[in-house]
Structure 1
């Protein structure tokens, strides 16, 4: 497929522009010094039977995995489907014990729980602990990039995040410094936007409205719109909106649906091209447990991330369909920002980008930012060229799109794995 990033070109970019030791031809790309317990390599795309045969002599291992959601929930399905696939493709040699709803450690403590052995795999959110992850937070400083509509944004955004993380060895190294192997650089559930109790599209409309936000970057973006941000726990969001403690909340359609507060704030506002930052999560594993796995088991853990991503997309879109319908049923609308509000948001995003360009944590912040802009353009073009129906679906049209069934995403995964994830795969 045309418009895929050439790996040799990307390797040159990483070496010359990012001053990082990244090359797509490396025999152990993305490992940042991680090891394995040996074993014969399996080609990507191999049949399940080849993995089962390769792991036939492996000592069985049980991994403790923490899900962010309750059992069988739309948000937790990504973990459950992934675990089931790895179990099956390993011939039962890799099994999982589940802890649900962040039962072992909250979002700001999961990295510690992985490092100290309470869990083996979990979702780490570097944007909530920026002092612990100064390099990685440059990635999340740019998480406003990409389209903001419900279908194409999910595909483009994940491509951007994966590519930037793969270009930057220091991100993997930072996780390893915390006792973790980075499996999935990032996952999200859609675009963030303010949901308010009345239609609010201009700076005058938004001025002095209290709004719940989830990161310092969202605070800055809300303040640029003249709003008054505050940090309110997710569990307290419903009551805060009901009591009028806040007027709005910055959230995704998934968050709004699960929070049950759309009836109080059925007026989301966004711009199709200008986004809010996402405090998205990553998936990480104990580096000690990773290093104990034989090579084909490590390859399997990476190769079946497509199952996790498929479940993440489907779960997010299930919640999005429900949320959009709730907005419409409540008499609300999805509105676009007026030009003055859009301009204020653009200016603040440029300031966040300038932080990246000037970051001391990166070898070359300006080159990292330039790589991000190139990735944004490339993945917009790549996604647009895929044979996936309804990429330009609007929020109002989304429930009908969803009723027709999630389209085949294999063309997307083929590009993502060939152009990016293959460089993270141990060999």
Structure 2
């Protein structure tokens, strides 16, 4: 909002409807199309049938490092570039009367968080684990756990009451909701990344095309650069809060034992291979993400996005005042969004 107001010289302002006060996630698309909302954050990964292409990318989101700073920056750039250069993905929005401003957004790498310790494969047998997307169903099942689907707003009480034992959770969600107070035993894949992190989009509704061209350009540019900087900073910043919550609750960050990690990584490889075998995506999409993951990690390093320590110490080495993600966001904008800028 600040970026749009600054870019427009104060001529564009916002009336904010916090949370889902006008439309819950299942209604957001309709609310944008019928004018109840003008801009919104939507979660297409919740609606696989309506957004199969985005769901496919969600299942191919493991080709960037799991590092908490450089990896998150590179991941945001990678998925922005991929989305804007995929006409079939953009059509999933435009066919519903929506205008994508950030068609694929990551809320950060996933962790597993449990009330009790246990990172070996045997520890996962029989656990009830809340999943955040369809891709986590086979991962949970292959670990020997039972997947449970629920909105994350219900997860805290479910963990408190042991309705579920664990949760697949992103640092951004964990840090902004305090979930890890109820599940402070956190497991990661170390330098590897859990798949399933492409969760959302930033979109405009039917009112967008009625705006003057200059206003549409301002909103588009701010979404592509300033908003991307903001959401990346929020991913890392909220992860800082999550790390502090774990420490305060007496929990720990641990890497998955090798046996459990191999089950997860092999499942993710099988999911990617099946997408290609079934013709959901061409092999070039998967191979392109492997290439762009390495390329954006290299570019992030060149721009100075470097991790200063381990995830478990993130709150001690990361200073948000020292990191501006706009330079990388601008490069990603030029690599994809710029060709779609209103003109």
* TM-score in terms of structure 2 length: 0.92
1:251 match: secondary structure: strand
1:374 aligns with 2:291: yes
Alignment of 1:121-270 (within 5 A): 121-270=39-188
Contact 2:5 2:12 in 1 (8 A): yes
Partner residue, 1:422: 338
| Aligned counterpart, 2:276 | 357
> Relative to 1, partners in 2 of residues 1:275 and 1:166: Cα closer, same or farther, differing over 3 Å?
same
Pair 1:294 & 2:212 matched: yes
Structure richer in helix, relative to its length? 2
Which has the greater radius of gyration?
Answer: 1
1:104 — aligned with what?
22
Aligned CA distance change for structure 1 residues 420 and 99 (closer, same or farther; 3 Å): same
1:157 shift after superposition: 1.0
Distance 1:116 1:361, change over 3 A: farther
Q: Is the 1:162–1:185 Cα contact (8 Å) retained in structure 2?
A: yes
Cα separation, 2, equivalents of 1:339 and 1:332: 21
1:294 to partner: Cα distance: 3.3
For residues 357-377 of structure 1, what are the alpha-carbon distances to aligned partners after superposition, in whole Å with 9 as ceiling and x for unaligned?
245555xx2221121111112
CA distance in 2, matches of 1:392, 1:341: 27
Q: Deviations over 1:243-292 (max 9, x none)?
A: 21211111012322333332332111111213131251101111x32322
Q: How far apart, CA to CA, are the structure 2 residues paired with 1:342 and 1:157?
A: 21
- What residue number does 1:321 align with? 240
Q: For residues 222 and 320 of structure 2, what CA distance do their matches in structure 1 show?
A: 26
Among 223, 228, 231, the alignment partner of 1:312 is 231
State how far apart, in whole Å, the 2-side matches of 1:154 and 1:385 are: 15
In 1, the alpha carbon distance for the partners of 2:114 and 2:181 equals 10
The structural deviation recorded for 1:191 is 1.1
Whether the 8 Å contact between 1:146 and 1:274 is mirrored in structure 2 is yes
Instruction: Structure 1: state its 5+ residue gaps.
Output: 1-82
Q: Note the 1:89-100 alignment, pairs <5 A.
A: 89-100=7-18
Q: 1:420 to 1:131 in 2, by over 3 A?
A: same
Alpha-carbon deviations, 1:308-338, whole Å to 9, x = none?
Answer: 1222233333322121012122222211112
- What is the CA-CA distance between 1:404 and the residue it aligns to? 6.8
8 Å Cα contact 1:266/1:332 also seen in 2: yes
What is the distance in 2 between the residues matched to 1:384 and 1:91? 34
* SS at 2:78 equivalent: helix
Contact 1:274 1:345 in 2 (8 A): no
- Any idea what the Cα deviations from partners look like across 1:79-106, whole Å, max 9, x if unmatched? xxxx232233223443322211111111
2:317 counterpart of 1:401? yes
Q: Please list the CA deviations of residues 63-93 of structure 1 after superposition, one character each: whole Å capped at 9, or x if unmatched.
A: xxxxxxxxxxxxxxxxxxxx23223322344
The alignment status of 1:87 with 2:5, answered yes or no, reads: yes
Question: TM-score by structure 1 length?
Answer: 0.75
Give the aligned length. Answer: 341
